[in-house]
Amino acid sequence: MKVDILRKKNLRVTPFRKEVLDIFLKNEHAISIQDIEDGLKDFDRITLYRTIKSFTSKGVIHEIVMPGDIKKLALCDGVCAHDHGLHEHNHIHFQCRKCEEVYCVEIDELPQLKVPGFIIEEQEIQAKGICSKCSVVT
């Protein structure tokens, strides 16, 4: 699967890229650079940042910045339309107020905003609340 993702996005398959991609695949929520560093055994920071940049520019991952939070990264879904640096997803970014994790939540359709005099090329919807894991009463 890792190899297929990299090849589909025209990225060279390397052991390090597979290792970084594996960290994303193991998490169902968005992760920080620190989370990635913690998951790697031995790495060069420059190589990691170049890998993240390549993954972002090719549409393997996308950045999420929630107000008051550090930048997080999440896998793009298989149908992500990546063109000219824009990622098109039908999802919202949801941050849990209890565990503080950020999730990409698929929705059927994004609302279409119309702002007179402006052309909207990209929109991002952020929501906060309680995630399904934290809402389970134990």
Q: How far apart are the first and last CA of the chain?
A: 35
Alpha carbon distances (Å) from 106 to 54, 76, 101:
24, 11, 16
Give binding residues for Zn(2+) as ranges: 96, 99, 131, 134
Q: Give the residue numbers of the binding site.
A: 96, 99, 131, 134
